[in-house]
Amino acid sequence: MNPDLDALHPYPFEKLAALYAGLTPPTGMTKIPLTIGEPQHAPYPAALDALVAHKEQMARYPATAGLPMLRQTIAEWATRRFHLQELDAERQVLPVNGTREAIFAFVQAALDRTRPAKVAVPNPFYQIYEGATLLAGGEPLYLACTAETGFRPDFAAVSAATWQDVQVVFICSPGNPTGAVTPVAEFKRLIQLADEHDFIIASDECYAELYVDEAAPPPGLLQACAELGRHDYRRCLVFHSLSKRSNLPGLRSGFVAGDAALIAPFKRYRTYHGCAMSLPVQHASIAAWQDEQHVRANRDAYREKFSSVTAELAPVLDFPAPEASFYLWPAVPGGDDEAFARQLYQEAHVSVLPGSYMGRQVNGHNPGAGRIRLALVAEVDATVAAARRIRQLIERS
């Protein structure tokens, strides 16, 4: 077997199961999980109808490039959403089976193993960035995201010598687990660094359609390119998904878009990889990308939860003001995120993810330590009930 498999860290939820081992939560108290970022809102009905309407096409092999109609629908959506001059549906868009699969596959295709292959990732982070890097023979470069940096990586702190070994930089905006949004100006500075040091920017934007202020949608990497007049999106790729936007995580549908010079070899890799999207899923995806009404309703539901939960928790916990995504990232009383998570599970039957499980220790410091991630994915009543239990636990401790 590939010896690099031994370098993979346990997934955060494996660690969480071990943390809870032997604990007995209160009898008669309903469990409320705030751990996994899996949307619990109803999936977009028209997408499900399209799955059924095209079920006979399960008898056909799909093409890696996807249906022209799907690519065109995606191109039109991204052009509207991010104020692009154009996005070539044939050369600059590729449907994928969700962002997790695409991110992992892209790193395998992108890294040049004949030279130093660092991949810069935010810290804390979505663990696929790290796992993909290790299995591609690369080395993760962890960039701390702390309160002092607005919970975003400080690219200015990276030396020119270090940049020379970086082949890919991952951005996650809105961020998981922090919810921080990368400003357009920061995207533009990173693009300048990519030109100077010849690396690829991979922007994971799967939470981009979940934001608090309806008048201020999070900007994206391609939007920054367009404002720079960089309509070839050179060195830039974005990853988007229907999982959060349309509450369709089981559909495993998303897309990669950007630099045609990167899309073409990635498409070739995927042809061998055997990961073409089934035709019924493609038709369901077309229906979802064409409609915005259900997405606005989804944001309204999350906005209601954010308002209620932050009002409940603000008096007892310190956390950055939510901008986007469906997470809260509070610091815990006493600073021990594992101990707080254990106590919360044992005394209030609420499960949360210790922040240290999403980070890596660098120079003696794990930037996720002392915080917890709260995924506000359940319906509003259950989510608010969990917030009340958290507050009561803190107030009586």
- 282-333 pLDDT tens trace: 999 999 999 999 999 999 999 999 999 999 999 999 999 989 999 999 999 9
For 126, phi then psi, to 5°, come to: -75, 120
Q: How far from 46 is each of 49, 250, 270, 302, CA to CA, in Å?
A: 5, 15, 29, 21
pLDDT of residue 383: 96
Q: What angle do CA 6, 12, 15 make, to 5 degrees?
A: 85
pLDDT in tens, 233-269: 999 999 999 999 999 999 999 999 999 999 999 999 9
Cβ(329)–Cβ(338) under 8 Å? no
Token pair in block for residue 312: 């409940």
pLDDT in tens, 147-188: 999 999 999 999 999 999 999 999 999 999 999 999 999 999
pLDDT of residue 322: 87
Q: Is residue 131 predicted with pLDDT exceeding 90?
A: yes
Q: 94 forms bridges with which residues in the sheet?
A: 256
Report d(CA 222, CA 232) in Å as an integer: 10
Average pLDDT rounded to a whole number, residues 215-226: 98
Cβ(356)–Cβ(338) under 8 Å? yes
Average pLDDT rounded to a whole number, residues 339-362: 97
Q: How far from 158 is each of 135, 151, 163, 169, 331, CA to CA, in Å?
A: 24, 16, 7, 12, 27
Residue 2: count other Cβ atoms within 10 Å of its Cβ: 9
* Class level of CATH domain 3-42+294-396: alpha beta
Helix (H, G, I), strand (E, B) or coil at 141: strand
Domain boundaries, the chain: 3-42+294-396, 46-291
Average pLDDT rounded to a whole number, residues 350-378: 97
pLDDT of residue 274: 85
Helix (H, G, I), strand (E, B) or coil at 328: strand
The mean predicted confidence, pLDDT, of the chain is 96
Based on C-alpha coordinates, what's the Rg of the chain?
A: 21
* Class level of CATH domain 46-291: alpha beta
Q: Is residue 45 predicted with pLDDT exceeding 90?
A: yes
46-291 matches 3-42+294-396 in CATH topology: no
pLDDT in tens, 63-112: 999 999 999 999 999 999 999 999 999 999 999 999 999 999 999 999 99
Could you tell me which of 102, 383, 93 has the C-alpha nearest to residue 257? Answer: 93
pLDDT of residue 397: 82
Q: Is residue 225 predicted with pLDDT exceeding 90?
A: yes
